[in-house]
């Protein structure tokens, strides 16, 4: 057995906790989870069945934790996990699962399949079985601080453009601010209007905020690839930045996995609670709106819908906030048939969008979202995740669909009474 395989197997062993034992003991292989997964529904390939993606961990559990597995081991008739198993499941898990967690919502036995798939990822990543692109972005995140290689200079250049454009100062490294905002590389490079919107909204509502030059990147490639050690290192950078500036709150941006990383898994990655609170930008905007600190004017009249980012809504609980906000400045907001916690994923979460190899299956999976959009006949899609936004833009382009897609924060900023657009 190679050293890397041994490391991977040890990592997988460390993932077998009471929850996993209860999940594997409970699964009756009914196959219901297949129908919840857009990679299965759009390809009809049974290997994309969510519970099948957990097979490496289940195999190990069966061999080392069950009576029959142990008996087979004693009799020398066991079928151990091999390098080939890991290689086979690498493509299934990284290319054919966006970690959307829809399967976990529907399993009649309550198995959190998505959580087990993440555990499988940790074993695969440790054994060196992960997509080259994701491994590279993870390395860049560790070396440079951003998966896309965005350095503080690039951010400062964007900020300069934005400040000139909106005639507002964007605060950096302000100590004891109430809020420290994080950004995703995609927002900095592709959707800087998010930063502009933040500045306008916070200026309007009188929110004390700052960016941190040493900790502005919210994305966490460690989470995407399943390397919890790297995930911890990246979270520690944010914690160090927030603690250095002595801020009270950290704002997670419009990025799904970043929210999971900093809000929910971050404290566990680093093994301690934070000294500050983490809020998602939509939670904060909803709170500002509810407390009357946002004065909005004008209504969007076009027919529009909201795409729920899985990590923010289904796995993050921020379901009512975007809807409250949208209803305050739209007249023709319609829901997709399956929305909120039962939304269908865009197909690009969980690192799929950063994995070039997964491009064909990702586009095939997008057909599910296309069907939802075809039913609605909307002019605009609003979302709150820059990754979803990019994936949907590509999907719309590939399918020749003439629909606009915008970020919620950015759309809200356009309705501020003293905003730049009104």
Partner 1 sequence: MGSIIDGSLWYFSLTVFVIGVVWNLVRIVFGKRKADFSIPRDSAVAGALRTLISRFIPDRHMLPRISLQVVAGYMFHLGLFVLLFFAAPHVRFLDEHILGFGWSPAPHWLFIVSAQFAFLGLIMLWLHRVINVVSRLISDRGDHIAAILTFVVMLTGCLALLETFNELRLLHRLSVELWLIYFPFSRLMHAFTFVPSRMFTGAWFGRRGVGS
82 is a contact residue toward partner 1 (CB under 8 A): no
| 192-228 core/surface letters (b: 16 or more CB in 10 A; e: else) | bbbbbbbbbbbbbbebebbbbeebbbbbbbbbbbbbb
Interface positions, 209-248, toward partner 1 (CB under 8 A): none
- CB-nearer residue toward partner 1: 129 or 259: 259
- Report d(CA 180, CA 244) in Å as an integer: 11
- CB-nearer residue toward partner 1: 31 or 73: 31
Cβ atoms of 119 and 328 within 8 Å: the answer is: no
- CB-nearer residue toward partner 1: 92 or 155: 92
Shortest gap between Cβ of 258 and partner 1 (angstroms)? 14
C-alpha dihedral, 228 to 234 to 236 to 238, nearest 10°: -140
- CB-nearer residue toward partner 1: 265 or 414: 265
Sketch the per residue contact string, 336 through 375, with partner 1: x for CB under 8 A, - otherwise: -xx--xx---------------------------------
The residues, any chain, with a CB within 8 Å of residue 380's CB and separated by 6 or more, are 300, 302, 303, 304, 305, 403, 404, 405, 406
176 is a contact residue toward partner 1 (CB under 8 A): no
Q: DSSP letters along 308-339, please?
A: --TTTTTTT---HHHHHHHHTTBS-EE--SS-
Shortest gap between Cβ of 232 and partner 1 (angstroms)? 12
DSSP 98: -
275 is a contact residue toward partner 1 (CB under 8 A): no
316 is a contact residue toward partner 1 (CB under 8 A): yes
Shortest gap between Cβ of 242 and partner 1 (angstroms)? 14
- CB-nearer residue toward partner 1: 128 or 317: 317
Kindly tell me the burial class for residue 64, based on how many C-beta atoms sit within 10 Å of its own C-beta (0-12, 13-18, 19 or more).
middle
Could you tell me which stretch among 169-177, 317-325, 375-383, 394-402 binds partner 1 (CB under 8 A)?
A: 317-325
Interface positions, 12-51, toward partner 1 (CB under 8 A): 17-19, 21-23, 25-32, 34-36, 40, 46-47, 49, 51
105 is a contact residue toward partner 1 (CB under 8 A): yes
Q: How many CB atoms lie within 10 A of CB 287?
A: 14
Q: Which helix (H) or strand (E) holds 307?
A: strand 304-307
- CB-nearer residue toward partner 1: 71 or 157: 71
- CB-nearer residue toward partner 1: 108 or 298: 108
- Report d(CA 37, CA 42) in Å as an integer: 9
* Nearest CA among 355, 354, 346, 329 for reference residue 388: 346
Q: Pick one of 4, 43, 63, 66: the residue that binds partner 1 (CB under 8 A).
A: 66
User: What ranges in 43-151 are assigned the alpha helix state H?
Assistant: 55-65, 67-75, 83-95, 102-106, 113-126, 132-143
Secondary structure class of 296 (helix, strand, coil): strand
Shortest gap between Cβ of 252 and partner 1 (angstroms)? 12
61 is a contact residue toward partner 1 (CB under 8 A): no
* Binding residue count for partner 1, defined by CB under 8 A: 57
Q: How many helices (H) and strands (E) does the chain have?
A: 21, 8
The secondary structure of the chain in percent helix, strand, coil, rounded to multiples of 5, reads 55, 10, 35
- CB-nearer residue toward partner 1: 11 or 314: 314
Distance of CA 382 to the CA centre of its chain: 17
Q: C-alpha distances in angstroms, 373 versus 31, 99, 334, 353?
A: 27, 22, 11, 20
- CB-nearer residue toward partner 1: 106 or 172: 106
- CB-nearer residue toward partner 1: 339 or 362: 339
Secondary structure class of 304 (helix, strand, coil): strand
267 is a contact residue toward partner 1 (CB under 8 A): yes
67 is a contact residue toward partner 1 (CB under 8 A): yes
Could you tell me which stretch among 208-216, 310-318, 348-356, 377-385 binds partner 1 (CB under 8 A)?
A: 310-318
110 is a contact residue toward partner 1 (CB under 8 A): yes
Shortest gap between Cβ of 70 and partner 1 (angstroms)? 10
Chain positions contacting partner 1, by CB under 8 A: 17-19, 21-23, 25-32, 34-36, 40, 46-47, 49, 51-52, 66-68, 104-112, 115, 263-268, 271-273, 277-278, 314-319, 337-338, 341-342
């Amino acid at each position: 057995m190679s050293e890397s395989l041994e490391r991977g197997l040890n990592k997988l062993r460390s993932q077998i906790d009471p929850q996993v034992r209860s999940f594997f003991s409970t699964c009756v292989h009914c196959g219901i989870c297949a129908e919840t997964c857009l990679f299965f529904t759009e390809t009809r390939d049974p290997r994309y069945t969510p519970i099948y993606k957990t097979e490496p961990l289940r195999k190990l559990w069966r061999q080392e934790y069950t009576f029959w597995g142990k008996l087979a081991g004693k009799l020398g008739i066991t079928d151990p996990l091999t390098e080939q198993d890991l290689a086979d499941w690498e493509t299934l898990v990284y290319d054919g699962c966006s970690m959307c967690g829809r399967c976990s919502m529907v399993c009649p036995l309550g198995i959190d399949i998505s959580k087990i798939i993440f555990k499988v990822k940790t074993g695969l990543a440790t054994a060196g079985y992960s997509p080259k692109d994701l491994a590279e972005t993870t390395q860049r995140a560790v070396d440079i601080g951003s998966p896309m290689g965005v350095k503080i200079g690039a951010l400062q250049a964007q900020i300069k453009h934005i400040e000139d454009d909106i005639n507002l100062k964007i605060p950096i490294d302000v100590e004891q601010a109430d809020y420290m905002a994080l950004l995703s590389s995609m927002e900095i490079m592709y959707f800087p209007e998010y930063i502009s919107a933040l500045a306008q909204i916070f200026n309007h509502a009188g929110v004390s905020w700052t960016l941190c030059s040493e900790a502005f990147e919210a994305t966490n490639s460690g989470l995407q690839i399943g390397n919890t050690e790297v995930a911890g290192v990246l979270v520690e950078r944010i914690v160090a930045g927030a603690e250095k500036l002595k801020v009270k709150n950290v704002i997670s941006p419009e990025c799904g996995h970043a929210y999971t990383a900093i809000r929910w898994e971050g404290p566990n990655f680093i093994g301690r609670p934070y000294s500050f609170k983490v809020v998602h930008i939509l939670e904060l905007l909803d709170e500002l709106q509810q407390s009357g600190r946002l004065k909005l004017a004008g209504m969007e009249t076009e027919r529009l819908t909201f795409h729920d980012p899985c990590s923010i809504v289904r796995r993050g609980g921020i379901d009512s906030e975007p809807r409250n906000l949208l209803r305050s400045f739209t007249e023709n907001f319609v829901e997709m048939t399956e929305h909120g916690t039962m939304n269908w994923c865009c197909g690009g979460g969980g690192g799929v969008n950063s994995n070039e190899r997964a491009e064909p299956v990702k586009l095939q999976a997008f057909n599910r979202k296309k069907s939802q959009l075809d039913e609605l006949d909307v002019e605009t899609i609003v979302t709150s995740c820059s990754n979803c936004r990019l994936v949907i833009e590509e999907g719309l382009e590939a399918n020749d669909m003439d629909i606009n897609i915008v970020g919620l924060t950015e759309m809200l900023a356009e309705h501020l009474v003293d905003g730049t657009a009104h």
